[in-house]
Amino acid sequence: MKKVVKFGGSSLASAEEFAKEGAIIQADKDRKYVVPPAPGKRDSKDTKVTDMLYNAYALAEKGKNFDKELKAIKSRYQEIIDGLKLDLSLDKEFKKVKENFEAKAGSDYAASRGEYLNGIIMAEYLGYDFIDAAEVIFFDKKGNFMPEKTDEVLRDRLKGCERAVIPGFYGAKVDGTIMTFSRGGSDITGSIVAKAVKADVYENWTDVSGVLVADPRVIENPKGIETITYRELRELSYMGFSVLHEDAIFPVRTSG
């Protein structure tokens, strides 16, 4: 049995949350491939790391100083590393990020570092292999996702990996330029990985328990929907229910 697991950003926002998700993964030996997003909000007033990265990069693009902003991002990761008591330094990675921001590597590159860095931490914490999504998820020159090439490369690469962490949300064009999916796109990566490894189950963990008949922020204790078709799920996400990204349905629907 093979399972692909994807978590929501708020589930990986702090060391405490990380440890909880680690326990979920380790509770089932079939959870072999893990797709983490960037750290989300720790509380309602917090800022997602992805948004912090977009903001820092906007300054870099204007040629302004972004040291303070980058330092705040680094401290989000350091807090997780320290909380998990890992012997891991992201100094080298942050040096590279700074250089690439200065070289104006693009806002997609900037945003993608959120999942890239979180993936490195997750892999270290779990003792899984780390696979940079830029090497296995592809977009064409115009920025369209390339399903066949991705499936082929990803399948081959994961064949040799018993357990791996593949960061969500981004991939690369054939020339190596980093590109992201639209916001919330880690759901899509999870689905693509599930298809490539022919997973038995794609688990998408989020902060609501299942698909509910109404928005729990509006209606108290709505019932859960036990069974739903791919089509209904896609329709709901397309119409704006925020449990799953609308483009995350297609890869798993075709492969059941």
Q: Is 167 in the site for ligand ASP (CB under 6 A)?
A: no
- Minimum separation from the CB atom of position 214 to ligand ASP (A): 23
Q: Where are the alpha helices (DSSP H) in the chain?
A: 15-26, 49-61, 67-83, 91-102, 107-126, 147-159, 186-196, 230-238, 249-255
Among the listed residues 36, 167, 168, 251, the single contact to ligand ASP using CB under 6 A: 168
Please tell me the count of residues contacting ligand ASP according to CB under 6 A: 12
Q: Determine the Cα–Cα distance for residues 253 and 241; give it in Å rounded to an integer.
A: 19
Q: Determine the Cα–Cα distance for residues 120 and 167; give it in Å rounded to an integer.
A: 8
Q: Is 9 in the site for ligand ASP (CB under 6 A)?
A: yes
Degrees (nearest 5) of the Cα angle 196, 14, 77? 80
Q: Is 119 in the site for ligand ASP (CB under 6 A)?
A: no
Contact of 28 with 55, CB cutoff 8 Å? no
- Minimum separation from the CB atom of position 192 to ligand ASP (A): 13
Q: Is 184 in the site for ligand ASP (CB under 6 A)?
A: yes
Candidate ranges 178-186, 200-208, 210-218, 227-235; the one touching ligand ASP (CB under 6 A):
178-186
User: Which tokens is 169 given?
Assistant: 């949300």
Largest CA-CA distance found in the chain, in angstroms, rounded:
52
| Residue number with CB closer to ligand ASP (206 or 255) | 206
- Minimum separation from the CB atom of position 159 to ligand ASP (A): 26
Q: Is 207 in the site for ligand ASP (CB under 6 A)?
A: no
For ligand ASP, the binding residues (CB under 6 A) are: 9, 37-38, 48, 50, 114, 168-169, 183-186
